A and B are shown apart, each in its own frame.
Chain A
Amino acid sequence: MSKKKRKSDYILFTGAILLAITAIFAILILIGVIKPNIFPPSGSLLDPNPLSSGLLTFLMLVILLYVGSKVLDFGLKYRKEEAEPKEDKYQEPIK
């Protein structure tokens, strides 16, 4: 296996692991193992802190998902470039 191919494999693995971590994190939240507690509840009757924590956790998951998919996109692009090498832009002028 060429060095470039191995590199693209590593990038793709990183992207896949990022996505898998996002999924595991979301599953743990849904099961109730992890409770989003970024802003601790104040204890008052109309306390919006749990609401903010939940929505912020969702946004963090979205960011992780976005980063994972971008890494995968980059890995795919890298592999494509290896399969079809770019033509040299600066060709020597024909004399």
Chain B
Amino acid sequence: MIDRKQFTLYLFKNIGIINLIIGASFFIFGIFNFGILTPFYEAQSGDPEFDGTYTIIVNGGLWIGFCAILMLSGHTFYFSIKNLESIEVRKKGLDITHFFLIAVIINIGLMIYLLLLLMNIVKPLQFYPNVLFAGKETPMDLSIIFNALTFFLILSIIFRISEKFVKYGIQLGGIK
């Protein structure tokens, strides 16, 4: 039978490293090829020059955000191994490995989704399809920045939940 603790440690170590490597490599690729990145959202206010710059800024920010989520989750998983080694897994009552497994499942799902997003296989959700606040007074299509913000915030909630499962699992294991 597989030792649950060893299995969890193995999962944490590998997921941590994979997330860190993927996040860092996409980040570096984005820095060197900023111009050729396919935009997630495109501004449509009517002014092509302004729209181009604005689209690059918003999508660049979103790209950095995705890479940051990947790297942060990798950091969380990889550096919690030390705390995980010191705790003991009880067989009676609530098993803390369930907490870690939920965190791992959420994180793998998030990682795959982010990978598909960064490779432009999946398109991010369009919350506001209409051009927002673009008129004579504000010649700016604000819909793409709100789309990007809402999308990023909801993604970060999923990351926070996986982080919380790891944190509470470790805390629970510390109680003798």
- Which residues of A approach B to under 8 Å, CB–CB? 1, 5-6, 8-9, 12-13, 15-16, 19-20, 22-23, 26-27, 29-32, 36, 45-48, 50-51, 53-55, 57-58, 61-62, 65, 68-69, 72, 76, 79-80, 83
Is chain B's binding surface mostly helix, strand, loop or mixed? helix
Chain A neighbourhood of B98, CB < 8 A: 16
Chain B's nearest CB lies how many Å from the CB of A76? 6
A12 engages B94 (CB within 8 Å): yes
Is chain A's binding surface mostly helix, strand, loop or mixed? helix
Considering only residues 133-170 of chain B, those with a C-beta below 8 Å from chain A are 133-135, 143, 146, 150-151, 153-155, 157-158, 160-162, 164-165, 168
Which stretch of B6-14, B28-36, B75-83, B122-130 is in the interface?
Answer: B122-130
Chain B neighbourhood of A29, CB < 8 A: 125, 154
Among B99, B130, B150, B175, contact of A83 (Cβ-Cβ < 8 Å): B175
Residues A23 and B158 in contact in the complex (CB < 8 Å), given A1-B93, A47-B130:
yes
Alpha-carbon distance between A62 and B158 when the two chains are bound, in angstroms: 10
B158 engages A46 (CB within 8 Å): no
B106 engages A23 (CB within 8 Å): yes
The residue on B at minimum CB distance from A23 is B161
A26 engages B128 (CB within 8 Å): no
Tally chain B residues at the interface, Cβ within 8 Å.
38
Alpha-carbon distance between A57 and B154 when the two chains are bound, in angstroms: 9
Alpha-carbon distance between A79 and B102 when the two chains are bound, in angstroms: 21
A12 engages B128 (CB within 8 Å): no
Chain B neighbourhood of A23, CB < 8 A: 106, 157-158, 161-162
Give 13 pairs: A residue, B residue, CB < 8 Å, sorted on A: A12-B168, A12-B172, A13-B94, A16-B98, A26-B157, A30-B113, A30-B151, A30-B154, A36-B127, A51-B143, A51-B146, A54-B127, A65-B157
A58 engages B150 (CB within 8 Å): yes
The answer to whether the Cβ of B4 comes within 8 Å of any Cβ in the partner chain is no
Chain A neighbourhood of B171, CB < 8 A: 76
Chain A's nearest CB lies how many Å from the CB of B115? 14
The answer to whether the Cβ of B46 comes within 8 Å of any Cβ in the partner chain is no
